Structure 1
Amino acid sequence: MTTYQATGLTGPEPTPTVSVKPLVLPDPRRGEDLHVRVSAPVTGTGLPVVLFAHGFGSDLDGYAPLVDHWASRGFVVVRATHLDSKRLGLAADDPRRPRMWRQRVRDMRHILDELGTLEASVPGLADRVDHSRVVAAGHSFGGQTAGILVGLRVKDPDTGTAEDLSDPRVMASIQLATAGKGGDELTPFAHENLPWLRDQDFSHITAPGLVVAGDRDDLPLSTRGPAWTTDPYTLSHGNKSLLTVHGAEHFLGGISGYRSAETTDEDPARVALVQQVTLAYLRHITGIDHTDWERAQKVLTDGHPLGRLESK
Structure 2
Amino acid sequence: MTTRPTAPLAAALLCTLIALAPAARGADALPEPPAAQAEDAGAPYGTLDFEWHDEGRARAVPVRLYLPDGADDAHPAPLVVFSHGIGGSRRGYSYLGRYWASRGVASLHVQHVGSDRALWAGNPFGLVARLQAAAQEQEAVNRVHDLRFALDQLLASRLAPRIDGTRVVAAGHSYGANTALLAAGARVERQGRRLDFRDPRIKAAVLISTPPFYGETEPATILAGIAVPTLHVTATEDVIRIPGYYSDADDRVALYEAIAHPRKALAVFAGGSHSIFTDRAGTGGAALNPQVKAATRLLSLAFLRRVFDGDAGALQQWPAQFAGIVARYTRDGL
TM-score, normalised via structure 2 length: 0.74
Distance 2:309 2:165 in 1: 14
* CA distance 1:205–1:288, change in 2 (3 Å): closer
C-alpha deviation, 1:248, in angstroms: 1.8
More RCO (CA 8 Å, sep 6+): 2
Please say if 1:113 is aligned against 2:113. no
> Partner residue of 1:195?
none
Amino acid aligned to 1:217: D
Q: Deviations over 1:250-275 (max 9, x none)?
A: 123xx321x557x3434211111111
* CA distance 1:160–1:98, change in 2 (3 Å): farther
- After superposition, residues 1-312 of structure 1 pair within 5 angstroms as 14-21=42-49, 23-44=50-71, 45-82=75-112, 83-87=114-118, 92=130, 97-118=136-157, 120=158, 125=159, 127-155=161-189, 161-183=193-215, 201-221=222-242, 222-223=245-246, 225-238=248-261, 239-252=263-276, 255-257=277-279, 259=280, 263-266=283-286, 267-287=289-309, 289-296=311-318, 299=320, 304-307=323-326, 308-312=328-332
Number of residue pairs the alignment of both structures matches: 278
CA contact (8 A) 2:79 2:107 kept: yes
- Greater displacement, 62-71 / 30-39: 30-39
Amino acid aligned to 1:166: R
C-alpha deviation, 1:35, in angstroms: 0.9
C-alpha deviation, 1:223, in angstroms: 3.7
* CA distance 1:51–1:208, change in 2 (3 Å): same
* CA distance 1:283–1:271, change in 2 (3 Å): same
- Partner SS state of residue 131, structure 1: strand
Distance 1:26 1:296 in 2: 40
CA contact (8 A) 2:211 2:251 kept: yes
Distance 2:302 2:81 in 1: 17
C-alpha deviation, 1:160, in angstroms: 7.3
Distance 2:284 2:142 in 1: 29
CA root-mean-square deviation? 3.0
> Partner residue of 2:10?
none
C-alpha deviation, 1:53, in angstroms: 0.5
* CA distance 1:207–1:225, change in 2 (3 Å): same
CA contact (8 A) 1:182 1:200 kept: no
> Partner residue of 2:13?
none
Amino acid aligned to 2:209: A
- Partner SS state of residue 278, structure 2: coil
For structure 1, list consecutive stretches of 5 or more residues without a partner in the other structure: 5-10, 186-197
C-alpha deviation, 1:155, in angstroms: 4.6
Amino acid aligned to 2:94: A
CA contact (8 A) 2:212 2:247 kept: no
Distance 1:146 1:184 in 2: 19
Distance 1:203 1:235 in 2: 8
CA contact (8 A) 1:206 1:236 kept: no
Q: Deviations over 1:265-298 (max 9, x none)?
A: 342111111111111111221217432123225x
Distance 2:41 2:281 in 1: 25
Q: Deviations over 1:199-236 (max 9, x none)?
A: 98223223110000111112125445321122331110
Distance 2:116 2:247 in 1: 27
- Greater displacement, 140-149 / 41-50: 41-50
TM-score, normalised via structure 1 length: 0.79
CA contact (8 A) 1:146 1:173 kept: yes
Amino acid aligned to 2:173: H
